[in-house]
Amino acid sequence: MRLGVLDLGSNTVHLLLVDAHHGAAPLPASKLKMPLRLSEHITADGRVDDAAVKALVEFVERGQQLAEDMGATEVMAFATSAIRGAVNGQEVLDLILARTGLEVAVLSGEDEARMTFLAVRRWFGWSSGRILALDIGGGSLEIAVGSDEEPDVAVSLPLGAGRLTRDHLRGDPPSADAIRALRRQVRASIADVLGQLRRGGEPRLAVATSKTFKQLARACGAAPATEGIHVPRVLKAADLHHVVPRLAGMTAAQRAELPGVSEGRAAQLLAGAIVAEAAMDLLDLDELAICPWALREGIILDRMDGLAR
């Protein structure tokens, strides 16, 4: 079946159309995306601002039309951290429903972690053993660990790259004091969940998903996206330790000149790097394998599993 997945993420709003059936890898058919940066459009009183709401509704309308034109039989829509935490999040979803007839599910942070973990497990397979999966989004950090397709532990922390940049890293580049304070906060937050994550034993494979990790890996020397999704890519802790101080001294424009770093995400790359470095240090990870599949693919795989039952 041709299936549409509409992801109202904290960084990018994204429609992915795939041809999928149970027991097979979903094959991309078409896509539409917009770097809306919802996590940067939260007002002081915690609302998604009017401009972002207007752009979001218009994107959903365009995405719905594309899905119809391309023959999709179903469109699944979901929202993550930015909408989940916004004071007017439900109002935004009600407006989308009124304008398009499309009902958007709000995923909990734990659901994000679980679905991403499913995608990682299917990509790397059972031979990988116990897996630890990390995903840095615009609004939150998801961590999941387990030996099966359902993780033993799935946690979500408010440590997204967009959120942290907006709230803590003002200035271009930000001050050394601001960076140090953020580093302390991030490490304390991750340290609070270490006991849960380690309860079942050490992972055999540590994996990272999300654009932030992909861009950090590329900046540290991983193969470019043009070489395809099946080329193995890793992010090494030693390389990341070298890159973080460089990022701290750069302006956003200078970061955008690094290999694989997009102009739209350059401003928040430092915050993402601080989170990635803290997670790798506190979890004693020498390297992370980069997985091309993430939350959207997990949603698709879960849906195909449900239809087969």
Is the pLDDT assigned to residue 280 strictly greater than 80?
yes
Report, as an integer, the average pLDDT of 79-98: 95
Is the pLDDT assigned to residue 300 strictly greater than 90?
yes
At a CB cut-off of 8 Å and minimum separation 6, what does 41 contact? 48, 49, 51, 52, 82
What is the residue extent of each domain of the chain?
2-106, 110-295
Task: Quote the pTM value.
Answer: 0.95
Report, as an integer, the average pLDDT of 199-211: 95
| Residue (of 137, 122, 117, 112) closest to 37 by Cα position | 137
Using DSSP bridges, classify how beta strands 2-8 and 13-19 pair: parallel, antiparallel or unpaired: antiparallel
| Domain 2-106 shares a fold with domain 110-295 | yes
- How far apart, in Å, do the first and last CA atoms of the chain sit? 16
**What pLDDT, on the 0 to 100 scale, is given for residue 264?**
87
Q: Is 139 in contact with 158 (CB distance < 8 Å)? A: yes
Name the pLDDT band for 16 (thresholds 50, 70, 90).
very high
Strands (E), the chain: 2-8, 13-19, 27-34, 74-79, 104-106, 131-136, 141-146, 153-157, 205-209, 234-236, 287-290
DSSP 174: B
Using DSSP bridges, classify how beta strands 153-157 and 141-146 pair: parallel, antiparallel or unpaired: antiparallel
Is the pLDDT assigned to residue 40 strictly greater than 90?
no
Using a pLDDT cut of 90, give the percent of the chain over it. Answer: 92
**What pLDDT, on the 0 to 100 scale, is given for residue 39?**
84
**What pLDDT, on the 0 to 100 scale, is given for residue 295?**
95
Instruction: State phi, psi for 130 to the nearest 5 degrees.
Output: -70, 130
**What pLDDT, on the 0 to 100 scale, is given for residue 11?**
85
Please, what is the average pLDDT of the chain? 95
Tokens linked to 85: 């935490």
Is the pLDDT assigned to residue 309 strictly greater than 80?
no
Is the pLDDT assigned to residue 84 strictly greater than 90?
yes
Q: For domain 2-106, give its CATH number from 3.30.70.890, 3.30.70.20, 3.30.420.40, 3.30.420.10.
A: 3.30.420.40
Tokens linked to 222: 């991983």
Q: For domain 110-295, give its CATH number from 3.40.50.40, 2.60.40.180, 3.30.1360.10, 3.30.420.150.
A: 3.30.420.150
Q: Is 160 in contact with 137 (CB distance < 8 Å)? A: yes
